[in-house]
Homo-oligomer: A and B are copies of this chain.
Amino acid sequence: MSFERKNIAQMRGYIPGEQSVVEGVIKLNTNENPYPASPLVADTLAGIQVGDLRRYPLPTADQFRKTAAQIHQLDPLNIIPTNGGDELLRLAITTFVDEKETITVTKPSYSLYPILTKIQNCSLKEISLSQNFGLPNNFTDLIKKTNAKMCILVNPHAPTGSLLTMSFINELAESFPGVLVIDEAYVDFVDPSEKYNCIPLVKKHNNLLLLRTLSKGYSLAGLRFGYGIADPSLIEPMMSKTRDSYNTDYVSQKLATAALLSQDYAKNTWDKIRWSRQDLMRRLADLGLTPFPSQTNFLLTQVPEEVDASTLYNQLKQKNIFVRYFNEESLRDKIRISIGSKKENDVLISSIKDILGK
């Protein structure tokens, strides 16, 4: 006999990308930043003593909230620190969506959304993207028809890399009657020329919740630190009711604060990754692959006709290069490649060349 709730017994869990412990692997499968976090983060880490860990951390991570608020020109009450961005997604659902109510996402999208929906025993409505992974033209109408209590969009989009404009998000927040979660996990890699910045919109729309993470843009995936940005009326119930009261630890609060204070350093890594993105895109195209335009630190790319995606994925793995393959209909002839360091990208390109016999 199983003690599991029926909805849990019937579901399958999220399967994270492989995290190899083997040295020397080129890991381009989970969108980590190829550059380490800033010298200030390193100094802060070096300054932490074991005795500092004896006491509970500040449950409200005040210093981080204050720092994030200053950087985004908001109030600390607009900020909720979380144990990775994933925790914010879970908290938002726990706080705002009842069992049986509907959550709308796009298909494809971050595959964790449907799983969190199942855990809360909610109803999932997936709106398929068009052939080129754009939103359908009548998306705003479609979404209203789902009668959803919450809509979660990842922007820039994963796993395709495309970007919805700020004015589209603005209009959607205006017309959508539920909570609109914009998962901005990859926002740091958006080209500044796009002038994409949804943060001021939280002052205008009390149903808009933005997700940020330090995993990608700030090279701290190992730390588990994310945060939400929204009107205080959305933040407060998650901060004071549904969150585990000590959800972020002493070390992560300190390092996350130091990371946000290192804006110049971080921006420099984003510039380098954008440059590599363009470079890698061109070189993949030269080899007959068809990468989609990306505003993130990864490229989703169609593989050439002569090889199928799972074969390319496996052959790269044999060469100690990990990329991501999704066993999903709309992504079947594609692989997703995280932007690595220049050297890693070079090895990737020459390995693909080898595999394709070019």
Among A12, A55, A57, A121, max chain B CB count under 10 A is at A55
**A155 located at the interface, meaning its Cβ lies under 8 Å from any Cβ of chain B in the complex:** no
Residue in contact with A54 in the complex, picked from B37, B119, B207, B241, CB distance below 8 Å: B37
Q: Does A179 contact B (CB under 8 A)?
A: yes
Q: Report yes or no: B83 in contact with A221, Cβ–Cβ below 8 A.
A: no
- Cα A19 to Cα B58 in complex, Å, equals 6
Q: Mark A19-43, 1 if CB is under 8 A from B, else 0.
A: 1010000010010111111000110
State how many angstroms separate the Cβ of A111 from the closest Cβ of chain B. 11
- Among residues of B, the one whose C-beta sits closest to the C-beta of A53 is B222
Chain B residues, Cβ within 8 Å of A215: 56
How big is the A interface, by class?
Answer: 35 or more
Closest to A14 in B: B245
Complex alpha-carbon distance, A3 and B97, angstroms: 9
Cα A4 to Cα B209 with chains together (Å): 13
- A95 to B16: give the CA distance in the assembly, Å: 20
Instruction: Take A119-B242, A245-B16 as given contacts and tell me if A8 and B95 are in contact as well, using a CB distance cutoff of 8 Å.
Output: yes
| Contact residues of A: prevailing secondary structure | loop
Q: Are A221 and B53 touching (Cβ within 8 A)? A: yes
For A150, give the chain B residue with the smallest CB separation: B3
Is there a chain B Cβ closer than 8 Å to A307's Cβ? no
Copies of this chain held together in the complex: 2
Q: Is A55 within 8 A of B87, CB to CB?
A: no
Determine if B99 and A99 form an interchain contact, defined as CB atoms under 8 angstroms apart: yes
Q: How far is the CB of A227 from chain B (nearest CB, A)?
A: 15
User: 21 A-B pairs, CB-CB below 8 angstroms?
Assistant: A3-B149, A3-B234, A8-B237, A13-B242, A13-B245, A14-B245, A16-B59, A16-B246, A21-B58, A27-B55, A32-B55, A33-B54, A53-B221, A56-B215, A57-B221, A57-B222, A83-B249, A86-B244, A223-B250, A249-B252, A251-B252
- Interface residue stretch chosen among A44-52, A270-278, A347-355: A44-52
User: With an 8 A cutoff between CB atoms, is A132 at the interface?
Assistant: no
Does A240 count as interface, using CB distance less than 8 angstroms? yes
Query: A245 contacts which chain B residues (CB < 8 A)?
Result: 13-14, 16, 86, 112
The reply on A98 being an interface residue by CB < 8 A is yes
Closest beta carbon of chain B to A341's beta carbon, Å: 11
- Let me know if A241 and B11 touch, CB within 8 A: yes
A255 is an interface residue with CB less than 8 A from chain B: yes
Chain B residues within an 8 Å CB radius of A34: 54
Per-position contact with B for A231-266: 1 when CB-CB < 8 Å, else 0? 001100100111011111111100100000000000
Would you list which residues of chain A between 56 and 89 have a CB under 8 Å from chain B? 56-59, 83-84, 86-87
Q: Does A343 contact B (CB under 8 A)?
A: no
Is B219 in contact with A5, judged by CB distance below 8 angstroms? no
Given contacts A33-B54, A57-B221, A222-B250, 12 further A-B contacts (CB under 8 A): A3-B96, A16-B56, A19-B55, A30-B56, A36-B51, A37-B50, A42-B50, A45-B48, A45-B49, A83-B83, A112-B245, A115-B241
Bound form: Cα–Cα A252–B252 in Å: 10
Q: How far is the CB of A194 from chain B (nearest CB, A)?
A: 26
